[in-house]
Amino acid sequence: MAFRMVPLLAAAFALLLPVIPAVADGKPYMVVEGDTFYGISRRLQVPATVLQSFNAINDPAKLRPGMVLKVPSVHEVRKGDTLYGIARQAGVPLDELLGINGLKSSSPIKPGDRLYLPAGARSTAVAATAKPVDFSKPHPAGGSMMWPHAGTRAPFQGRVLGSGSLQGISFVGNRGDPVFSATSGEVKWAAPYFIYGKTVLIKTSDGHLLLYAGNEELLVRVGDLVTPGMEIARLGTSPQGGGARLIFSVHGRAGEYVDPEKYLGNG
């Protein structure tokens, strides 16, 4: 039978999500087995040197499971921003903002630059504004979703926890390939799932769920807001064999399977 997201996979997610720490911008990060400063910095999109400085750790080798790292909030510079204005908006002294970013008061900034905010700063983040996918009708020509991977694709049918099956598209790639978000939305799951390796589940603003499975490294965490084309993971070798494969699946608000090819267009 066709896979129903609500009674099967969503039910498992609902049970497990409360115990997964939602490390959002500026929130502490607990080090787990296998973590490195480099890996954490890529996941949080904060340079390793900034993390080390922010936590007064001179020797990266001293990183240990269970340690709690302070993570600086990030402000993405927008049109019209000034260093003084950002500091005032964040509620921090200008000299502290300059110090953590290695800037001077006269340093130029431009839209798209990322500035790290000192401890205790107020959030200056804004919600993702990318136009959501219109799932009310297919877009067979140009498509309204971005391709999550450029590899050769084929229909996929697999197992899930329980008695259902998982439908989707399988993309054949290479270990380490970037995996991109097809839409804007919020990360609801970022962890291993069943036999599919590390998996990302993203919920769109209208309630659709997009699943990206078969990853070796995750670059997002629960609670992150993503936009189309944002790199969210790195592909890994499939636990089921057959090399590196991305499993991509879309489900509607009622749990029904939605054929992604109707919205991805010609790729």
In the chain the domains, ranked by start, together with CATH numbers, are 9-13+133-264 (2.70.70.10), 21-117 (3.10.350.10)
What tens digit of pLDDT does each residue of 98-121 get?
988 889 989 999 988 888 888 777
Contact 215, 199 (CB under 8 A): yes
Identify the residue with better confidence: 25 or 32: 32
C-alpha closest to that of 233 among 189, 187, 177, 169: 177
What tens digit of pLDDT does each residue of 183-231 get?
888 888 888 877 778 889 998 888 888 999 989 999 888 888 888 888 8
Alpha-carbon span 250 to 201, nearest angstrom: 10
Give CA separation, 220 vs 42, 138, 186, in Å: 9, 28, 10
Contact 199, 212 (CB under 8 A): yes
Alpha-carbon span 200 to 187, nearest angstrom: 7
Q: What is the pTM of this model?
A: 0.52
* Mean pLDDT across the chain: 76
Residue type, 267: G
C-alpha closest to that of 25 among 88, 114, 85: 114
Q: Enumerate the β-bridge partners of residue 154.
A: 170
What tens digit of pLDDT does each residue of 198-211 get?
889 998 888 888 99
User: For residue 61, what are the contacts with CB-CB under 8 A and spacing of at least 6?
Assistant: none
